[in-house]
Amino acid sequence: MEHTIAKAESRLVRIPVDPPRGDAIQQFNALELPIVTITDRAGRIGTGFGYTIGAGGSSILELLRAELLDWLIGQDARRIAFIHEHLNKSIHALTPGCISSTALAGIDVALWDLAGKRTETPLSLLLGGAKDRVLTYNTHVGWLNRPLAEMVKLCKQAVKKDGFHALKLKVGKEDPEEDRERVARVRDAVGTKVKLMIDANQSWSIDEATRRLKLLEEFDLVWIEEPLPATDIQGFIELGKRTRIPRAGGESLYSAAAFYDYIRQGALDILQPDVARVGGITNAMKVCHLAESANLHVAPHVSPELSVSIAAAVSNSMMIEYVPQMEPVLKRRVRIEDGYAIPSHAAGHGIEFDEKAMTKFEVK
């Protein structure tokens, strides 16, 4: 049967990040991409991927090769939900967790890409087709280790030259007044019509977050992202009583069930599923539909080349994040017009890797 899986392979690509990027808890000098290709008996190829920042890609690659890929041979590539559930149960002792969910995501994304190619349908339409474009916010301008003058310059350029209507700044400087100055300077530089978000990368306690956010409430922020450790649901609930700034999070949640707990307890206002970390497109769509049922918005985390298809598929998407992480190994960047990302019109997810660049950065 032509839709039976004939081959499943993986490789690891490590893209240097120079200069290193930094947030409140880490700096990293590389992006690692575990990449999966699945070929059916008709010769169609689906490509999937996950990512890690800094290190860890080799562990994901080993899990794929040692435990997951061989079982795929001979399976019906159309049965995406069955494959996802079977593989998840086969490594149940390792779940939920970032390594296992990222490995599963590589396979799941490849299967959905293959489904789009088999049906000659763009992924955004295959998944629902609610929108033809999605507002995009620029995070790259706002790394915490950027000097203030450089950050302000890049923010102004992103708005006036590149057409972005939304920006995100990392916060978490040792001195809270320095965070306030950075946000104030950017708000003054780009004006009040530009949407502005902040991200503390899980670096605060509830009391610290309360104090710091009081200094920032005047700047009309769309959200505070991950102010507390992702496991601190009660802290997020309490923070909602202490600040007017909406709470966003989800990039560090590794299952749809984890999102359900946050939704059920009213711990987040905006959900940010990461396609790789949550286990792939199958689980990301579950999160989007859970959020819609609770009348909440989603703003998929990073990987704009893929996130645009997820966000365009659902009616409750708010924005996607632009960080130029994969661009060195892509044939083309995500299409952004007047601050809005346009999903690919090609069959599947439409992401094309540059084989010459992939070979250059491949970890042998």
The CA distance from 173 to 24, in Å, is: 7
Active site positions, annotated: 170, 301
Question: What are the backbone dihedrals phi and psi of residue 334, each rounded to the nearest 5 degrees, phi first?
Answer: -60, 140
The CA distance from 33 to 180, in Å, is: 35
Nearest Cα residue to 189 out of 149, 138, 155 = 155
> Distance of CA 144 to CAs 14, 171, 192, 211, 251, Å?
23, 6, 22, 19, 18
- Assigned token pair, 246: 């909406």
Question: Is residue 72 a contact partner of residue 64, using CB atoms and an 8 Å limit?
Answer: no
Residues 6 or more apart whose CB falls under 8 angstroms from that of 89 comprise none
Question: Is residue 38 a contact partner of residue 8, using CB atoms and an 8 Å limit?
Answer: yes
Task: Tell me the CB-side half-sphere exposure of residue 301, using CA atoms within 13 A.
Answer: 25
CA triple 75-80-83, angle to 5 deg: 55
Query: H or E element: which one contains 341?
Result: strand 340-342
Nearest Cα residue to 61 out of 103, 101, 31 = 103
